[in-house]
Chain A
Amino acid sequence: MTNIKKLLTIGVCTASAALASGVGMAQESGWDTAGFVENATFYRDGRGLSKSRNTAQFEFSKDFGKRMGMNNFRLSGTLRATYDAVYDLNEDEFGKKAGGPRSFENFGSTTAQALFGGDGSSPWGFSILGNGGAAAGNPIPPGFLFDVGSNPNDGLAVLGEEFHDPRGGVTIGVPLRPCDTDSRGCGLEDYMDWDLNELRFPDFNDHLDFIRELYIEGSVATGDTSELFLRIGKQQVVWGRTDLFRVLDIINPVDFARHNIYDELEDIRIPQWIASAEFRWGAVGAFDDLNLQFVWNFDEFRPNNLGQGGSPYSILDAGSFFRAMNNCWENGCTVSNFVPAAAIGLDDPGLIAADFAPNVIGIRQVDLPEWKLSNTQGGVKLEGVYKDVGFSLNYYHFFQQLPVLRGDIESVNAFTGEVADWDHLIAFDINFPEVDLLGGSLDLYVDSLKSVVRVEAAYTQGEEFANTLEADLYSDSDVFRWVLGVDRNTFIPFLNKKRAFLISGQIFGEHLLDHELEQAALGPVGIPNWKDNYIATLLIKGWYKSDTISPQVIMAWDYEAGAGTIAPSVDWLINDNWRLIAGFNIKVGDGMGDQEFDDCRACNPFPPFTATPAHADPFQSGSVGLGGIEPLGRFRSGPLGSASEEDEFQVTLRYRF
């Protein structure tokens, strides 16, 4: 926790204490409090318990009336404590005993078959190009040896093993256990480095996330119907009009580790210390309502929480990939199918695994923007209602909340030991580039359709993406995103004659304006993300028994990934206090295993040693497009396809008070 946040926390608390002391009170209300305790238990097919999350949340607010020259001066806060028992109850999958020894594919290798038997897979740290070869007395370059004593074959999974077989592609060993049990791959400071207690109690961390919100607000009248509204503190600022996927709602980062994309954004936005000022003119000129909001996120930058290798929810399985790669950098690692056996002089048509030494490939560090004034984020929104159409125009300057891997770091040449910034080498730092977003939204009611239409669009500059065409393996691209939503209440008489169903459909579009993709000798090369992609969502929700029983189904379909989700559930409001939700989350369509992309095995980063016959100039680095599922197939699978093996039955019981 930074000093400024400590000061702010103390400041807001002190302000509230001073206000509560009752000096100069006017129209003061009592404390408004509410809260709940909840258990969410999810069972995942093939893995067993995937969540046993116990949450207690307490909300409070108090209107102090007129204070400090402001009307309706209010203090509000939300405290949350979460204990996810899955790390204790299913520790074989997600806790201290997760993972185990793993072997890595040597696809089609007759040598490996002879050496290792079975399917020819070689144990972690015992590859033919590596420790295994050295043990057999073969000369092995120094960049292909690592210490198995400190980086043992235990507590591991093979990257993507839940989703697909290696199929001749690269895979890496992923340490799964919490970082206090197994520190491998936990070397990214303040990023995906949680110990067991941080996983169990995710709200209790250095950022004081148990304080979900704590802010003060008030308004200053600027006219009969206009006012200046001010709010400062830890809070969520919500822009946009869409559900599930975000286009304009980007001010607060999101905690996908809580339950991927499926929890309400209210519960997974990561609150930030933000000051906002809003001029509310009300009805003015031709506008029924007009407001101008300035937002200044002066908090330390925090990226989206993507989960951690070994945790049950890791969107795009990115946490596993990052942890595996950080381990590669720090301790070395085995990578399956990395090298043609013939490349090391074997009379063998297959591919063999390689044991990389530390500091050759992997992820070296994360460059989280440090707190300084110039690193704060902010924007402006003009919002109003004009001729029955609600609209907003938005601008926001921020740091990309999803990480990008920049391959412009110095590393060790596996063959020569030389340290340099090698082009096309899969050795990275994680970065979060600055992004400018310009967008807008509108909603209107279309009487002929009896429907509400919602539109959002955003154009960003500065986002960065993986790009195997580039020497540093990334490039930036302007991006245009949009969403069209239609909400309609419709009677479905055979299901309910007295109550209409809500049918809400959305289509999200994403277009990368600077997308690059070329066909190389062995396959496509460039940006793995789709140039154009569309995700459709559909919600059908009904109500029975005075809305105490509400069945619904949420469906989502990623067009290019060919992957989708069907999530039927029933929400039973037992009484004003108790609520039970039971449902399934079933993935359909293609999984991660159905998407392949250039994996940079054939990038020739250490020319001429790593050149392939497809390289016209063996002294020139660059990819010739040999691909596999890992690691970039995840970008083509998207959040739906990359969770293809996460079918779950979910029960949530909540008691409100």
Chain B
Amino acid sequence: MLKKTLATAVLLSAASSFIAEAATLEDVEASFYPYKDTVPTFEGLSTGMTINSGNVEQFAEILDPAVYQMLKDGWFEMKVGDTTSFDLHPNYVEATRKGLGQVALGDELGQINGFVAGRPFPEEPDMSDPRAGEKLAWNYKYGYNWGDNAAIYPFYWRYRDMDSGKVERTIKFNFHFLNYMHRVNQEPVPQFADNPSELFRAIYVQVLEPFDVKNTQLLIHRAEDDLKRDNTWLYLGFQRRVRRLSSGQITDSFLGADIMIEDFEGYNGRISDMNWTYKGTKNIMLPFFNHNDMDLATDLVESDGYQFVDFGGKGGCYPNITWQLRKVYVLESDPKDDNHPISKRTHFVDAQTFTLPRTLIYDRKGDLWKSWLIGQAHPDHHLEKNKGTGVAIDDAFSMVDVQAGHCTTGQFKGQVDPELNPVKIFTVQNMRSKGR
């Protein structure tokens, strides 16, 4: 622990001597529209082809290590799609422009000054900047993500044995997200007036099925002050009681899944909980696709005809989607808490959207433990209501525990719809009333 603290102190000290060049409007354009003039290419890679165990070596350079190994082992095959631009909402881009030159890191990890809305640090990360990783983390935290609010409504999780392919559990959720601050699109902008604890964001989760966990609810309040701990509550249906969660439950399996609460959306914690290291920029294959163009699942059709992403590959752990070659920032985060169950995460941050479509999670010994995939669907090729929202829609996930041979998959019906996310549902009291 002392070593980590010292390392952090040294890092921050070094950072203070780094003079970052102020971001420019050109930086903003490059950050949000990297594929405006050209898209990345790789020798031998073409739209419509499939990467599999037979040709994976040829593409090792544009694959993250876990995907490379899983392709090599024949656990799934990767269909290649066009690289497409996922333009974020223009209001978010405009907010970034307005904030240019006004945002700076504070002295401590987890502090930021002058931020109002948009992307805090649109400039390209610099390997010589010791706090470049931290800036990328802030860009993720304040990313457009689900926009000002959204719901995954419903959201199916399936627990699968990779060897047998057996689906052990199917859990049906509703997820709701709401930004209290740094809003750019929906009133109130930029923030709610009644926000005494200065919350930045809230996540509300309700379990609909199966019966043993039905009415379980989760509420996360994340403060604007990153140094403040999240407040997290769990309502257990069989107890009819709201229980506050300890941090140990945030970094533990959520309802038996291969996912911990801290894994939500790629990383669901504080900036100040991790040390962040920028490891470079590269082009790799990421799960970005057009939902409506995929061969979708036929077993969970919604009443409005919506179909979820289908899964296949080993154990049914891999979404049947297309991947595209995209620019990523490789970002490492290692927990400051020595008792954290993992040693580090390697995030492959999509440079355009600042989503985390690929994350590799390493156990305390440093061995790869889990491979975390969150497929991103273009909003203009999804539900009608999502068109034009400028949100990269989280549309399918797969968390593969490579050590246990187990996975949890997720099938989303993401809806960018403020009607589904009134502020009053993000309260402890709402959990009690929803929970019978």
Contacts and interface: CB of A to CB of B under 8 A. Distances in A.
A360 to B, nearest CB: 47
B170 A576 contact: yes
Contacts of A543: 253, 256
A445 B253 contact: no
Contacts of B196: 283-288
A575 B168 contact: yes
Interface string B227-256: 011010100001111111111110111011
Interface string B218-234: 00010000001101010
Given A499-B253, A543-B256, A282 B170 contact: no
Given A283-B196, A387-B197, A76 B248 contact: no
Interface string A532-571: 0000000000010011100000000000000000000000
A264 B212 CA distance: 13
A385 interface: yes
B240 A546 contact: no
Contact of B169 (A61, A450, A548): A548
Given A289-B427, A546-B169, A546-B257, A35 B244 contact: no
A357 interface: no
Interface string A365-392: 0000000000000000001010110100
Contacts of B253: 498-499, 543, 546-547
Interface stretch (A93-101, A134-142, A488-496): A488-496
Q: Which of B159, B210, B212, B247 has the most chain A CB atoms closer than 10 A to its own CB?
A: B212
Contacts of B231: 385, 388, 445
Interface string A280-301: 1011111111010000000000
| Interface size of B as a range | 35 or more
B424 A450 contact: no
Interface in B170-192: 170, 192
Interface residues of A, number: 66
Interface stretch (B19-27, B113-121, B145-153, B428-436): B428-436
A383 B233 CA distance: 15
A291 B244 contact: no
Interface stretch (A235-243, A421-429, A604-612): A235-243
B246 A547 contact: no
B214 interface: yes
A546 B429 contact: no
A283 B194 contact: yes
A241 B243 CA distance: 7
A291 B256 contact: no
Contact of A576 (B169, B423, B427): B169
B339 interface: yes
A188 to B, nearest CB: 31
B75 to A, nearest CB: 19
Given A238-B240, A383-B429, A498-B404, 6 more contacts: A61-B436, A388-B231, A500-B248, A500-B251, A546-B253, A547-B255
Interface of A: 32, 34-36, 61, 76, 213, 217, 224-227, 229, 231, 236, 238, 240-241, 243, 264-266, 278, 280, 282-289, 291, 383, 385, 387-388, 390, 443-445, 447, 450-452, 454, 487-491, 498-500, 502, 543, 546-548, 573, 575-577, 579, 656-657
30 contacts: A61-B436, A76-B436, A225-B194, A227-B424, A229-B433, A240-B241, A241-B241, A280-B424, A280-B429, A283-B197, A284-B194, A289-B428, A385-B428, A390-B244, A445-B246, A450-B246, A452-B243, A452-B244, A488-B246, A489-B248, A489-B249, A502-B249, A543-B253, A546-B159, A546-B257, A546-B406, A548-B256, A576-B210, A656-B210, A656-B211
